[in-house]
Amino acid sequence: MGSGVMRKTLAVTAIAAGFVLAASLQVFAAGSEDDDTAPPPKTETTTKCADGKVWDKEKKECVKPKKSSFNDDQLFQFAREFAYAGQYDNAISVLKLAKNQDDPRILNYLGYSNRKAGRMELGMTYYRQALQRDENYILARSYMGQALLEQGDVQAARVQLVEIRDRGGEGTWAYRSLLQSLNGYKRY
C-alpha cells in the first residue's frame, strides 16, 4: 500500500472515530434510562396510576407497591419517577419498601424527596448517609450542594462542587447542575 493511500485510510479512520466519539458523548450527556442523573422517562406509573400506585408490567395494571412484588432497582425507578413528577411523599413511600436501606441511591433520593417536600434537615441527613456509604457518589454531592445553597451556605455548596470535580465528575450533569445553581444564586 502506498504512503498516500495509507494517509487517506488513516484520515478516514480518524474522522470515523471522531464521529463515533462525538455520538457517544452526546448519548452520555443526554443520559440514559440506567443513568440516575437524567430525568426518568414517564411511564404508566405517573401517567395512568394514582394514589401512589405503580405500573406492574406483567399484570398490565396499577398496583400498590409491596416489597415482595418488586426488587430494589424497580422500586428505585418508581421512586425516581415519582420524585421528578413532584410526588415526593409517594417517592418516599416506595423508597421505604427497598430491602437495602443502605443503598446510596435509596438514601440520596430519600434526601431529595424530603428536601423537595420541605423537610430540609431530614433531607440533609439522608444525603450525609448516602455519602457515608459512597463518598464518590457525585449526584448526592450535587443535590447536597443545591440544598446547602437553598440554605444560603454558598461556601459549603462550592466545597461540594470541588469535591465533584476532584472525584472525576467535572463535565457531568451533577457538576453542571450545581455549577449552574451557584452561578444563578443571588442573595437577597
Question: Residue 12 — very low, low, confident or very high, per pLDDT cuts 50/70/90?
Answer: very low
For residue range 71-96, what is the model confidence (pLDDT) as tens digits?
A: 999 999 999 999 999 999 999 999 99
Closest CA to 178 of 187, 162, 168: 162
> What gap in Å lies between CA 45 and CA 105, rounded to an integer?
20
> What gap in Å lies between CA 188 and CA 172, rounded to an integer?
29
Contacts of 123 (CB under 8 A, 6+ apart): 110, 111, 112, 113, 114, 115, 116, 147
Place of cell 420524585: 83
* CB contact at 8 A, 140 and 108: yes
Question: Residue 7 — very low, low, confident or very high, per pLDDT cuts 50/70/90?
Answer: low
pTM score, whole prediction: 0.75
